[in-house]
Structure 1
Amino acid sequence: MRPIARLCLLLFGLALGLPAAWAQPMDFATAQQKLRQRSDRLAASQQALQGAQLKREAAQGLGGPVISLGAMAYAYNASLDLNLDPINQSVGGAVAQLPPPLAGVLGSLPSLPASYTLQRSDTNSTASVSGVWPLYTGGAAEAARRLLGAQADEAQADAAQTTEEMQTLLVQRYFGAQLTERAAALREAALRNIEQHDSAAQKMLDAGVIARIERLQARAALEDARRQARKARDEAELAAAALARTVKASARVRPTSPLFVLTEPVEPLPHFVDAALAHHPGLAKINAKKGQAEQLHAAQEALRQPQVFAFGQRELKTGRSADWVAGVGVRWTLFDPLDRKTLAESSLRSIDQAQSLYEQARSDIELLVEKRWMALEQARQAFWSQQPALEVADEVLRLRQVGLREGTSTTQELIDAQLNQAKVQTERAQAAYEYIKALAELLEASGQGDAFERYMARANTKVE
């Protein structure tokens, strides 16, 4: 089929109100892969991480020698006015003190001018190479490198937190779309059955088999079923659009991985608590913040230490006429307006603050993991507790169908049984979705969001 023909056929199908039939099928693994490749939020977090890592790499040589090359070309013009009157006066006084014959001879000599202007101009160029090598900085260079390393660790924790959150969001939207699509299909199937019963009720009314009130009840049930089906379909379309935007799909997405529930409970609570304490991005971020505070304190302490450095400079000339200088320098600040001791105390308080935040976060995360572990177990039990209700709904529907054929049940009773069955099946699918959502939230709280697919593969109960 040509692309243009395929496009026309697709548009024709959409015009007929059949978007679900033309939706792009996608399993959860594919959706997860597309999320990692296309998510702007994940891309932004990775770019921030890469930027922090590059800063850390750029500072690895900090504290080493610095060599620079300098050159300049110049031209100048200088003028200087000299006042010669004091010299003339001094010469005249000296001549006056000489014997008359000699003074007469010297007195006849011409005198110097009153002033003289000295002017000089030239052009030149010079070039030199210079170097400075810090020999001892009190640990300032090491503190700076470790500070950038701690900032990179913080960016790593932020990126991990973003990944965990996006994983949970994908689970909610993917299986939320699966749930709403199933609910819409159940409502639409119930609507088709009720339409058949409505038509049969009209024929029975015309034949005088049923009363008018039963016919009106069937029509009212039909209108309510239509309203519920339209509402369910709208919700399914909205959920599908949200999923398509999440994975940046070019067309509507139809999830193919079914809802699922594990028959047995997951690992005990201590397993998830230990995993959270070892892998939760929030704790890693606070540790990185603490590392930054420690390195800032180390840098402030380094500024109170003497600094020793070697230096050298040489003109870029050949021969012995080139100027050069080399030596060792020491710099030690004895006094400045800042109270360094108080600043050191302030940085120590920042370290203590980070430690307190870590302890509080640790306690909060342990409580959160316990809460979500219990919510997961409650969702599992809620799913299995609905099994008897589903069996009852199936049996009641079977009895109403038999009763309608034998004349012991009314059309309205059969419609009610069908609607109740659709309701119970929807509630069971909703319970499975709540279980999946609780599982994703538990894995996020314990820093194991990437383990979701492993639990999904272990599921032995699927809501097809």
Structure 2
Amino acid sequence: MPVFRPLLISLPLLWAGSVGAQTSASLTWDEAVHRLQQGSDQLAGARAVVAQRQAQAEGIARAGGPMVSAQGVAYTYRMSLDLDLDPLKQGLGNAVNLLPPQVAGMLPALPPLPSNYTIERRNSSQSASVNAVWPIYLGGAPDALRGMVGAQGDEAQADLQHSEDEAIAVLAQRYFQTQMARRAAALRDAAAAGVAEHDLAAEKMLKAGVASQLERLQAKAALQDAQYQARKARSDADLVAMALARTLKFDGIPAPSTPLALSSQALPSLQDFINTALTLHPGLAKIAAKKAQAEYLKAGTKALNKPQVFAFGQRSLSHNGDWLAGVGVRFNLWDSIDHQAMERSHQSQIHQAEAAEAQARSDIALLVERQWRSAEQARSQYISLAAQDELGQELLRLRRAGLKQGTSTAIDLIDAELNLSKLRTERAQVAYEHVMALVGLLQACGQIQSLADYLARADLRLE
């Protein structure tokens, strides 16, 4: 096993080096969102559904209107009829036999008749006419059909909005996770460089006899651990950057340039966000579309039981110019569908949509409150960590001065260096948690597109 250890350690280093060697390109948040909207296959599929529903609605916009058609016929025919003449021959013979002999003798002999005779007729002709049907009253069926298709379009639009919000939320996670990972890697690199300097100082102090062998070994172990943590942080940063690149179909390694940011001022009130969410959340729009579909289906079912009135006309285009016009009424006396049962079914769908809407409103309000509290908690935590950052810097300054004066050891200085790096990495993590909570909050409110505005107004930035 020890023989393979150098190879196993070198593999992640080679991979990280190969990733880092690729071209990095600066990428703002607005540019990332634009690339996502232009290149996402999932969003393209959702937009295709919306386009299909819109085209369908346009196709039936005039359903229930007049219909005019032209009909032309050209034909030729041949008809034949075979006549059996044997009964006629027998009848004539019997009739002659019934006559008096004197009279029968005076009659000339009957010509011989064939046993059968075929009559044949041939002809060709053509005709043309214009037909028109104008529905006058269809019980509201066309309106129900148009409403149904329109509600399906609203549902597709709500699905598209949901897909866009989900895609942007995933993008935000990967974009700002890349920001956080790159910052963590930079902090680890800086800490490793600082520990390397302190390790060199510990070695010199050992040779000068002012440090013990234990302190030297502690410094060396701290250096190796710091270097390992730096390599790991770089590898993690490259991995999340690669995930971001795959999400955006990006050539090379993207370098997010919009920093993690948060405001020193509190977010608007929780109730404002809840009111917005209960108005703009795409899930509520989808439920409303489902309810509308059930209502239009119910109306269509009722329309089938109502009488239908229509006008019709026909005019021949031939030389005689015959024409026909009238008004018709159609009413179903009985069919095989139980319309009352169908109406109860649609009414149950309406009740189901109403119950789903009530549950969704409760869930959305709870989601908004959870995300709002998480964002505020992370914001407060980030601000409170500022004092610890100042303390860490002051402690590092004192340890450096103490090392020169002989009141501190190299290990004390290394601990102060690593603790400050750890604290700043933790602050970056808290800033990332705030941004992610803000993303979830805006997504629940149907306003995730406004994330860029919140980041632009933020006054605390992790450049």
TM-score by length of 1: 0.91
Q: Which residue of 2 aligns with 1:170?
A: 171
- Counterpart of 2:313? 312
Structure 1 pair 105–158 and aligned structure 2 pair: CA distance change class (3 A): farther
Single out whichever of 153-162 and 118-127 deviates more from structure 2: 118-127
Aligned 8 A contact 1:95 1:107 in 2: no
Q: State the secondary structure of the residue aligned to 1:193.
A: helix
Q: In 2, Cα distance between the equivalents of 1:31 and 1:445?
A: 21
Identity of aligned residues (%): 48
Following superposition, the deviation at residue 301 of structure 1 comes to 0.5
Match of 1:5 in 2: none
**1:117/1:18 Cα in 2 relative to 1: closer, same or farther (>3 Å)?**
closer
Q: Which residue of 1 aligns with 2:49?
A: 48
Tell me the residue number matched to 1:343. 342
Is the deviation greater in 388-397 or in 271-280? 388-397
Q: Say whether the 8 Å CA contact 1:20–1:254 is kept in structure 2.
A: no
Residue 263 of structure 1: how far off its partner (Å): 0.8
- 2: CA distance, partners of 1:314 / 1:111: 53
CA distance in 1, matches of 2:183, 2:131: 76
Which letter does structure 1 place at the counterpart of 2:377? Q
> How far off its partner does 1:323 sit?
4.6
Residues 444 and 186 from structure 1, CA distance in 2 versus in 1: closer, same or farther, beyond 3 angstroms? same
Contiguous gaps of at least 5 residues in structure 2: 1-14
The alpha-carbon deviation at position 16 of structure 1 amounts to 7.0
- Alpha-carbon shift at residue 30 of structure 1 (Å): 1.7
**1:87-115: CA deviation from partner (whole Å, max 9, x where unpaired):** 22333333333343333344611243221
- In structure 1, runs of 5+ residues without a counterpart are 1-13
1:455–1:15 distance in 2 versus 1, CA, 3 Å: closer
In structure 1, the residue matched to 2:214 is 213
- Counterparts of 1:193-208 in structure 2, within 5 Å, are 193-208=194-209
Matched to 2:160, the amino acid is A
Q: Counterpart of 1:280?
A: 281
**Residue 242 of structure 1: CA displacement?**
1.7
Partner of 1:428: 427
Please give the secondary structure, in 2, of the residue aligned with 1:355: helix
CA distance in 2, matches of 1:152, 1:245: 31
The aligned counterpart of 2:238 is 237
Aligned in 2, Cα 1:354/1:18: closer, same or farther, shift over 3 Å? closer
| Paired position in structure 1 for 2:20 | 19
Whether the 8 Å CA contact 2:132–2:313 is kept in 1: the answer is yes
Specify whether residues 387 and 20 from structure 1 end up closer, same or farther in structure 2 by C-alpha distance, changes over 3 A only.
farther
Corresponding position of 2:362: 363
Report the secondary structure of 1:314's partner residue.
strand
Task: Work out whether residues 134 and 310 of structure 2, in 8 Å CA contact, stay in contact via their aligned partners in 1.
Answer: yes
1:82-121 to 2 correspondences below 5 Å:
82-106=83-107, 108-121=109-122
Q: Are the equivalent residues in 2 in contact too, given 1:314–1:324 (CA < 8 A)?
A: yes
Asked if the contact 1:300–1:340 (Cα under 8 Å) also holds between the matched residues in 2, the reply is yes
The letter for the 2-side match of 1:372 is Q
For residues 110 and 18 of structure 1, the distance between their equivalents in structure 2, rounded to whole angstroms, comes to: 115
2:446 counterpart of 1:440: no
Report the secondary structure of 1:103's partner residue. Answer: helix
| Amino acid paired to 1:421 | L
Output the aligned Cα RMSD. 2.1
What is the deviation of 1:21? 9.0
Aligned residue for 1:264, secondary structure, equals coil
Which stretch shows the higher mean deviation, 372-381 or 429-438? 372-381
Which residue of structure 2 aligns with residue 78 of structure 1? Answer: 79
What letter matches 1:143 in structure 2?
A
Tell me the alpha carbon deviations over residues 2-51 of structure 1, each in whole angstroms, 9 at most, x when there is no partner.
xxxxxxxxxxxx99768389410111122222222222222222221111
The more displaced of 102-111 and 332-341 is 102-111
In the alignment of these two chains, the number of paired residues is 449
Structure 2 CA distance for aligned equivalents of residues 123 and 208 of structure 1: 127
